[in-house]
Amino acid sequence: MTRLPILKLALASLAAGTVISVLMLQIDWFGDAAATAAGPIDLLMDVTIVVSSYIFALVCVALGYALIKWRVQPGDEGDGLPIHGNTKLEVIWTVIPIIIVVALAGYSWAVLDDIENEDADRITVNVYSQQFAWTFGYPESGNKWSEGELHVPLDRQVDFQLHAQDVIHSFWVPEWRIKKDNVPGITTDAIVTPDEAGTYQLICTELCGAGHSTMRATVVVEPEAEYQKWVNGLSQNVPESLLLTADQALEIEKQIQEKEDGIEGTGVDET
Amino acid sequence: MAMAIRQPGWYRGAIGMVLGAAFGFGLVIALRAISGLELFQTEQTGYPHVIVPLITAPFGFLFGFGAFDYWFRWAAGKPTIPDDHSAHGAYRWQDYFKFNTDHKVIGIQYVVTTLCFFLIGGVLALLIRAELAQPGEQIVAANTYNGLFSTHAIVMIFLFIIPIFAGLANYVLPLMIGAPDMAFPRLNALSFWLLPIAGIVFLGSFLAPGGAFDAGWTGYAPLSTGAPLGQSFFNVGVQFAGASSIATALNFLVTIITMRAPGMNPWRMPLLVWANLSTSLLVVGATPFVAGAQFMVLFDRILGMNFFQFLEGGDVISYQHIFWFYSHPAVYIMMLPGFGIISEVISTHSRKPVFGYRLMALALIGIVVLSYSVWAHHMFVAGMFSWLRVPMMITTMLIAVPTGIKIFSWLGTLFYGKIHLYSTSMLFSLAFIITFVVGGISGVMLGMIPIDIHVSDTYFIVAHIHFVLFGGSVFTIFAGIYHWFPKMTGRMYDERLGRIHFWGTVVGTWMAFVPMHWIGMDGMPRRVADYASVYGDWNLFISVSAFLLGAVQLIFIYNMIVSWRFGPKAGNNPWRAHSIEWQVSSPPPVFNFDEIPRVVGGPYEYGTPGARHAIMGGETAPEELPEPEPATVTSPS
């Protein structure tokens, strides 16, 4: 039995992994970024892409080497070597992947804490969704209301309170990297700190019926002063019908929170 | 004629179906009349006079077709004619269209039926891609489009991938473990016949007022609870498909546990048997949840219950928990049998034992255990309890470990082997390894919450599921069909056409599904009939690739049909494999074995001179053959 050229295979995998990583990182995976969450998430993705590239390269090199080296000669009816396994090798390829995924999971957890960190001076915006339109309420500016167009101040954390009137919708601005479902019956929230002024698109990403693909809204990120001016210029207040369901939702939300606190705090479900 | 009507079969089945439908219809009308209600309730979530017959007509058909004759005779205390094997085995082509209890006939019934559904699902996919080739609405309206992708997914999942694995295993598994048939042959036949019924119910929804069910294959409430009538067809169809799946899994479990040939201890079972044991454990545990979820939706729709009605105190998110508690294990139900196939094919065609056999088997069990604890990773942005996310992320990512063990062990099997590439099944197995690694990696990315928050419900998800389901499951299905085609039909397929099919499928898969990762990350949501024009070029490219992928499948179908009829005789063991199914004739005799074989060693003892897996009946003095020492050569480090 010939010895495996371990060093050469390892070097080939490293080289191939490096080439694949470089090629993969050339692809502009995410497009534009316009919120503080984008930096850490994009970096996490890039790190994962590099790690994955090396794993993919290792598999390709091993498979390619085996095919070149042990492809059978025509007419050879013999069998391969009766190797049933190798405990050391099997332990290695169990333990190393565990280390890799636990490390990536820990890193992801850190990023998650980072992007969901709440600022003290955040403002709240209500996002109402129904088939197939978005409307927005600004509770800190006298509950003013806008339809189909969302304005938020630049460099200020926004806590979006998400409501749904009929079916599930989902709030996503790709440039912000943040998404959360609007769920009828409860209020969910999404935390975003826009850090790039401009006009973006809010996209519904949860199938909500025939008009799903057209359920969009315009998002304008502008400096604080312009934002205030725009909000003050709004004439309508949030309609009663929306507020009612939103209040009901808050009540349910409170109950859920209590239940959750019960589970987290005492280990006992109080219900 | 009068005779034919009394005998179980298609005539009596048709009459039974009509009577069943009439009974269901009459029951609803009578009850409504007694209650003083309007006879017909035609709110879009109502139609009880359609839904009840939709359930009773299939049962009427099954009664008439003969599915319950034996059990009824037995229950009624009539003589059951235990040695009557008239419904067993296929002697003419018509026997494939009967209630047949031979596992080999049922296996072929499954494979052929599910391949028909594969073609239907494929046509639906091409309609989707035709609509998406350009931004804007061209071919179908948005709600029709929603119906197309919903039925595409359901047909491919419930009527193709899950049951075709059941079909392949139905044919091969009893032979592999040296059993004369499955443990419950009549239940086995009933499981099969539930499947075309499910298919007709699903596809029948296209005829319902309001069109086919269009809330996605996930059918999230409350979109599904308020959807038109087609959604009820979905709820009912899932019950038939699910019952079929559960009954088959029970059958496999009992067969594997109790009917192995003497000497086949668990560590001598081929990995395909291990894989189906694991899959069956998932099916019996998880499938009742999807059935339950769909009953709850159906009750909300028709009986006015409030499981998911948020204005009446229902809980919207609980639907997703119940649904994914099945549907995440379901992706392993769609993958583990494929892992088994790959182990058989790679070992046979590299003439080497499977590397790390015991760890391979344990990895399957590890996946089973872990897969019950990851469902909520589909719900990271769904607004569920936030504390549930991190534990689910960790378990999700840990599933990569047993899966990685399998990938590395297959590679280890190739090393120091004698790799034959003449068989299309081997080509598909090797391509599967590469493609599945990509799908697995994107799966780990999706398990990471911050990345998932961004790419949830985008084309990245579509890319991932197609890499694991098409590049994963379907590649293994092709590998399995090519591998056991000679055994099932007694004839060889055309390897040259097989190669064309292989290369077309691999290239088409990568071309169609790789760009979906990019457009998804960049901002294209899934399940949309229309999209931003910046994604137009990539979508056109994807659509063209999808049509290429669809076209090469016709070569496969042609190859299968023509080779089945005219292919050269295969002989018993064209691949020189060791497992038991290859030691009998092709196709095997009706009762598989004249004498039950004795298992004397592992299934993959390639390279050990004189090593045997099994000693067939009629061979001399099995006791005198020494049990071969397991070779202890370790690979050099």
Q: Please give the pLDDT value at position A108.
A: 96
Q: Which of A168, A226, A221, A170 lies closest to A198 in space, CA to CA?
A: A221
pLDDT at A266: 47
Is A210:A166 a contact under the CB 8 Å cutoff? no
pLDDT of residue A253: 67
**Can you tell me the distance from the alpha carbon of A26 to that of A42, in angstroms, rounded to the nearest whole number?**
13
Rg of the Cα trace of chain B?
25
The residue among A250, A249, A234, A245 whose CA lies nearest residue A143 is A234
**pLDDT one-digit tens code per residue, B447-497:** 999 999 999 999 999 999 999 999 999 999 999 999 999 999 999 999 999
Q: What is the pLDDT of residue A270?
A: 41
Residues of chain A found within 8 Å of residue B634, distances taken between Cβ atoms = 83, 86
**Residues of chain B contacting A180 with CB distance shorter than 8 Å:** 381, 383, 453
Q: Token digits for A76?
A: 């050879």
Say if the ipTM goes beyond 0.95.
no
| Nearest in space to B221 (alpha carbons), one of B313, B330, B314 | B314
Contacts of B70 (CB under 8 A, 6+ apart): B80, B186
Locus of tokens 């050229």: A5
Nearest-CA neighbor of B495 among B556, B443, B578, B552?
B556
Pairwise CB contact (< 8 Å): A89 & B635: yes
Compute φ and ψ for A217, nearest 5 degrees: -145, 160
For strand A216-222 and strand A149-153, is the pairing parallel, antiparallel, or unpaired?
parallel
**CA distances, B82 to each of A65, B66, B74, B85, B418 (Å):** 57, 16, 10, 8, 49
Please tell me which of the candidates B220, B415, B606 has its beta carbon nearest to residue A70.
B415
Identify which of B360, B367, B327 has the alpha carbon closest to the alpha carbon of residue B342: B360
Contacting residues of B for A209, CB less than 8 Å apart:
143, 146, 223
In B, minimum Cα distance to A39 occurs at B450
DSSP state of B415: T
- Other CB atoms within 10 A of residue A113 CB: 11
Contacts of B357 in chain A (CB under 8 A): 84-85
Give dist(CA B155, CA B195) in Å, integer: 11
Q: What is the DSSP letter of B262?
A: T
pLDDT at residue B475, as a whole number: 97
Residue B526 to chain A, least CA–CA distance (Å)? 7
Question: Quick one: which of B623, B419, B415, B466 has its CA closest to A83?
Answer: B415
Closest CA to A66 of B408, B458, B587, B457: B408
Residues whose CB is less than 8 angstroms from the CB of residue A9 and which lie 6 or more positions away in sequence, other chains included: A61, A62, A65
Mutate to test the interface with A, among B380, B401, B533, B539 (most CBs of A within 10 A): B401
A213 contacts in chain B (CB < 8 Å) = 142, 525, 527-531
- Chain centroid to CA B581: 22
CA quadruple B423, B427, B433, B439: dihedral sign: negative
What distance, in Å, lies between the first and last C-alpha atoms of chain A? 67
Residue ranges covered by each domain of chain B = 2-73, 112-566
| Contact between B298 and B309 (Cβ < 8 Å) | no
pLDDT 10s digits, A165-198:
999 999 999 999 999 999 998 899 999 999 999 9
Low-confidence ranges of chain B (pLDDT < 50): 622, 624, 629, 631-637
Chain CA centroid to CA A267, Å:
29
Interface size, chain A vs chain B, as Cβ–Cβ contacts under 8 Å: 289
For residues B36 and A20, what is the distance between their CA atoms, to the nearest angstrom? 72
Answer whether B353 sits within 8 Å of A84, measured CB to CB: yes
C-alpha distances in angstroms, B56 versus B17, B28, B301? 8, 11, 19
ω into B587 cis (within 30 of 0):
yes
Question: b/e string for B13-37 if b means 16 or more Cβ within 10 A?
Answer: beebbebbbebbbeebbeebeeeee
Residue B615, beta-bridge partner list? B598
Q: Where are the alpha helices (DSSP H) in chain A?
A: 6-26, 38-70, 87-115, 224-232, 240-266
> Smallest CA–CA separation between A152 and chain B, in Å?
20
Q: Report the alpha-carbon distance of residue B295 to residue B292 in Å, rounded.
A: 5
| CA gap B168, B248 in Å, rounded | 12
**Do B199 and B236 touch, CB atoms closer than 8 A?**
no
- As beta bridge partners, residue A138 has A144
Predicted pLDDT at A76: 86
Q: What is the dihedral of CA B621, B624, B630, B632, to 10 degrees?
A: -140
CB atoms within 10 A of CB A7: 8
Q: Which residues have CB under 8 Å from B116's CB, separation 6+?
A: none
CA–CA gap between residue B443 and residue B122 (Å, rounded):
24
- Residues of chain B neighbouring A88 (CB-CB closer than 8 A): 637
- Element (H or E) spanning A138, and its range? strand A133-138
The reply to whether residue A1 touches residue B633, judged by beta carbons under 8 angstroms, is yes
Using a CB-CB cut-off of 8 Å, the residues of chain B touching A80 are 350-352, 416-418, 606-607
Distance CA B445, CA B454 (A): 11
State which residue of chain A sits closest to B633, comparing Cα positions: A83
For A58, name the nearest residue in chain B, comparing CA atoms only: B408
Contact B356 A85 (CB under 8 A): yes
Instruction: Answer for the pair B423, B575: CB distance below 8 angstroms, yes or no.
Output: yes
Residues 6+ away with beta carbon under 8 Å from B376: B321, B324, B384, B388, B389, B392
B112-566 belongs to CATH 1.20.120.140: no
Give chain A's residues under pLDDT 50.
265-271
CA distance B83 to chain A (A): 44
Tokens of B427: 């080509």
Q: Are strands A158-164 and B614-615 parallel, antiparallel or unpaired?
A: unpaired
Q: Do A44 and B451 touch (CB under 8 A)?
A: yes
At CB < 8 A and 24+ separation, what contacts does B32-39 make? none
Residue B620, pLDDT score: 57
β pairing state of A198-204 and A216-222:
antiparallel
Nearest by CB to residue B382, choosing from A90, A181, A264, is A181
For residue A161, the cross-strand partners are: A126, A189
Residues, chain A: 271
Report the alpha-carbon distance of residue B98 to residue B117 in Å, rounded. Answer: 19
On whether any CB of chain B is under 8 Å from the CB of A85, the answer is: yes
Residue of B nearest to A98 (CA): B401
Q: What is the pLDDT of residue B74?
A: 85
Structure confidence at residue B610 (pLDDT): 84
**Amino acid present at B431:** A
DSSP-based three-state secondary structure for B413: helix
Q: Which residues contact B358 (CB under 8 A, 6 or more apart)?
A: A85, B267
